[in-house]
Amino acid sequence: MDPTRTHRAARSRRSFRRLSLVLPVLGLAVVPLSAETWMPVGPTGGDARALAADPRDPRTIFLGTANGNLYRSDDAGRRWRREEPGFPLRGMSLDDIAVDPRGTIFVGYWSVASSGGGVARSDDGGRTFSILPDIAGQAVRALALAPSDPDTLVAGTTTGIFRSRDGGRSWTRISPMGDAEIKNLDSIAIDPGDPDTIYAGTWHLPWKTTDGGRSWRSIHAGMIDDSDVMTLTVDRRSPQTVYATACSGIYRSADGAGRWTKVPGIPSSSRRTRAFAQDRERPDTFYAGTTEGFWVSENGTASWRLVTGKDLVVNAVLSLPDGVVLLGADGAGVLRSDERGASLQASNDGFSERFVSRIVFDALRARVLATVLGDRQHGGVLAAASAAGPWEKLSPGLEGREALAIDVLPSGAVLAGADNGLFLTSGPGAPWRRLGTVIGGIEIQPRATDVAALTESVFLAASSKGLLRSANGGRTWQAQSLGLGGAVSAVARATAETGLALAATAFGVFRTSDFGATWTLVSEPLGRSSAHAIRFLPGNDQVVFATTSQGLYRSADQGRTWMPRGGGLPLLDITGLALHPDGRTAFASDFKEGGVWRSDDAGQTWIRLGTGGLLTERIWALAVDPRGPAVLAAAATGGLHQMTLLSAGGAGGSQ
C-alpha cells in the first residue's frame, strides 16, 4: 500500500505505503491496562483550514482542520490545545467557524470522503458539540452569522443555501430546490444591518437576496464569467462596499454588488485568494491569503505587496487587536504577526496535524527521524532529539518531493527513497543529494518506496522499476533480477547476519545472503496481496514478519514458509510494526479499521492496547523509543502520539 495515494486522494477532494523502521532498543516493560494513555508529541504544524475569534475576548481563537479536529488558543494564537472530547467527527473538513456574541461556537463542515457534512454547535467553549439535525447530511462549505441578529445563521452547501433564525436549532432552505446555478457554494456574507440581505458565492458566480431568500438575482456584472467566488466581505465602513475574491482575481463593488471592478496589484498566478480580511483597527488595510503567498494592502486595495514566499498556501486570515494577524496555511500550520503582517513567524505550539508515515530512531546519534507525507513544501524528513521535539527539517533539498522511506547509514548519513528517485544527505543541514539511477543508459528516477543500507556503501531500493542495488554508495545502480521482474514492494536487511536481506514482489519473496549480488525465490506470494513491509525479528534472523492488507504474516525459516498470524490479531490492514530487541515483544497496528496490538511471545499471540488519548484508532506507523519504555504511534490525524509503558507495579523504566 502506498500512503501517498490515500493521502493525496483525501487532499484533492477537499482542495500512506509504508510502516515504521525500528532500530534495536532495550528495556521494555509490561503494560498494565491503566497505563494505556496516548499523549500527542508532534511534530507541530499541518493544514489549518479555518480561524475564528471569540468576540467577547479576541485572544480566544478556534482553529479547524481538514480531519475533524478543533483546536483552541487562549493567548491570541501563541499556544494551542485540543479540546476534549472536542468536535466528534473525524474525516470532516472544518472550513468555517463562527462565534456569536454569547460565545456559542458554530462549525460548518463537510466530509472529505463522501458527500455529507453539516453544522455543529458548542455552548461550552468547544469542549463538546451537538450535531444540528435539520442540516445534517449537507456538505457545508460556507457559514456566516448575521451581525445584527446573533440567532441568524446562513449556510452555503453543495445543494443550496440554508438559514436558521433560532441559533441553529432549525434550518430552512432559502434557495430554490434543485436550482441549476445556486449550488456548490463557497462563500456567504450578510449585510451588517439587515439579516435579510445575503450575498452568496458559488463555484460559478455570485448571487444576492434582499428578502431573506424569497428571490435571488445574479450579481456578476463586471466579473469574469465562470468565476469561483471564494470569499465575500462587506466593508465595515459602508455596507454598500463589498469585496469578492474569485479564481479570476479580487473584485470590489461600491453599490452593493450591482457592478464589480477588478482590483489590481496581485499577479494572475496568485489570483486564487482563499482568504480575505479587513484589518480590525485600520480599515484601509486589507489582507489577502492566496495559493501563492500572503499579500497586504495599506491603501484600500489600490496596491498590494507580497509578504511571504509564493510557496505558502493560505486558507484563513484573522485580524486581531493591536496589529496581530494570524494565518492558517497548508502544511505550515499557523503563522503569527504582531505588526499587521509585516513579518510572520510559525506559531504552532500544541498544534500537530502532520501525517507521519515512517519513524526511525537513530540511537547512536540520539535522534528520531520522521517522514511527513501530503506536504511537499513543509514535509519531507524531519528530525528531533526526542519525539516531543522541537522538530526541524533534517536537511534542505527535498522540497517538491514526497519522502517515502529512509534508512540510517553507520556513519549517520541518511538514505531516502522518494516519489521520483533516491537521495542521500551526509548529516543534519547538509543538502540532500540526488543519486543518479541510470539503468540501461536511461535515468529512471524511480518511485522508491523502501530502502535498506546493508553497509556504508551497499544500498538496496524497492521501487516501481524493480529492485535496485548500489555497491558504491549510490554513485551507480544496477537492476537486480527477481523472477519476472516488476515492482518491488518491500526490502529488509537482517538484524544480525551481515549481507542477509529479503525482498517482496507480487510474485513472491526473494532472499540474498551476499549483500544483494544474487537473489533466490524462497516463497510464493503472501496470499492475495503484496507486502507493505518485511522485518526480521531482532536477535533471530530466522523469524521474519510481513505486513499486508490481509493481516500479519510470520515466517520461522527466513521467509521460506509463511503463516498468517491470528492469536488475537485480526486479519486486517496491518501497516505498523515495531519489534523489540528482546526477541519477544512486538507491536502492530491496523490502518483501515483501527487498533494497536501487543505480543509478548514473538508474534504468536496478541492483545489489544487501549487507545485513550488518540483522536483516531487508525494507526499507520509504530516505533519504540530506545531511550525509554515508550511506544510511538503515527495516527491518521493528530500527528505522533506516545504511550509510556509502565511496569506491572506501576513504575516506569527499563528492565
Q: How far apart are CA 197 and CA 161, in angstroms?
A: 13
The model's pLDDT over 484-528, given as tens digits with 9 standing for 90+, comes to 889 999 999 998 888 999 999 999 999 999 999 999 999 999 988
The model's confidence at residue 382, banded by pLDDT at 50, 70 and 90, is very high
- CA 580 – CA 582 distance, rounded (Å): 5
In this predicted model, what pLDDT tens digit does every residue of 197-206 receive, in sequence order? 999 999 999 9
Q: Residue 528's pLDDT is what?
A: 81
Give the DSSP H/E element, type plus range, for residue 439.
Answer: strand 438-439
Query: Strand, coil or helix: what is 188?
Result: strand
The CATH fold of domain 18-40+354-644: Methylamine Dehydrogenase; Chain H (2.130.10)
Contact predicate 423/397, CB 8 Å: yes
Grid cell digits, residue 226: 465562470
pLDDT at 270: 75
396: pLDDT strictly greater than 50: yes
Is 80 exceeded by the pLDDT of residue 648?
Answer: no
376's grid cell: 511537499
Tell me the DSSP string of 103-165: --EEEEEEESSSS-EEEEEESSTTS--EE-GGGTT--EEEEEEETTEEEEEEEEESS-EEEES
Sign of CA pseudo-dihedral 230, 236, 239, 242 = negative
| pLDDT confidence band for 228 (50 / 70 / 90) | very high
Is the pLDDT at 179 greater than 90, yes or no? yes
The rounded percent of the chain whose pLDDT value lies above 70 is 93
Distance CA 294, CA 647 (A): 51
For residue 591, list its beta bridge partners. none
**pLDDT score of 16:** 30
Give the per-residue pLDDT at 527.
Answer: 81
Q: Which residues of 21-57 are buried (b: 16+ CB within 10 A; e: fewer)?
A: bbbebebbbebeeebbebebbbbbbbbbbbbbbbeee
Q: How confident is the model at residue 3 (pLDDT cuts 50, 70, 90)?
A: low
Q: How far is C-alpha 446 from the geometric centre of its chain's CA atoms?
A: 24
Q: Is the Cβ–Cβ distance between 380 and 14 less than 8 Å?
A: no
The rounded mean pLDDT for the chain is 91
How big is the chain, counted in residues?
655
Whole-number Å distance between alpha carbons of 432 and 420: 13
Model confidence band, residue 28 (pLDDT cutoffs 50, 70, 90)? very low
pLDDT of residue 130: 98
pLDDT at 246: 93
The SS3 assignment for 438 reads strand
Domain layout of the chain by residue ranges: 18-40+354-644
pTM score > 0.85 for this model?
yes
Using the 8-state DSSP alphabet, how is residue 614 labeled? -
Q: What band does 370 get if pLDDT is binned at 50, 70 and 90? A: very high
> What are the residues whose beta carbons fall under 8 Å from the beta carbon of 317, sequence distance 6 or more?
51, 275, 276, 277, 287, 288, 289, 294, 325, 326, 327, 328
Q: Which of 95-99, 166-170, 266-270 has the lowest mean pLDDT?
A: 266-270
What cell does 163 get?
A: 438559514
pLDDT single digits (tens) 483-495: 888 999 999 999 8
Write out pLDDT tens, residues 299-351: 999 999 999 999 999 999 999 999 999 999 999 999 999 999 999 999 999 99
The residue type of 249 is: G
Residues 205-214, mean pLDDT to the nearest whole number: 98
User: Using CA atoms, how far apart are residues 126 and 20, in angstroms rounded to an integer?
Assistant: 34
Report residue 412 as a C-alpha cell.
549517520
Strand pairing partners for 387? none
Q: Please say whether the beta carbons of 522 and 559 come within 8 A.
A: yes
Whether the pLDDT of residue 463 is over 90: the answer is yes
Least confident of 21-25, 147-151, 562-566: 21-25
Alpha-carbon distance of 514 to 502, in angstroms, equals 11
Predicted confidence (pLDDT) per residue in 413-451, tens digit: 999 999 999 999 998 999 999 999 999 999 999 999 999
- The larger pLDDT score, comparing residue 587 to residue 271, is at 587
- Give DSSP secondary structure letters for 356-390: EEEEEEEGGGTEEEEEEES-TTT-EEEEESSTTS-
pLDDT, tens digit, for every residue of 53-74?
A: 999 999 999 999 999 999 999 9
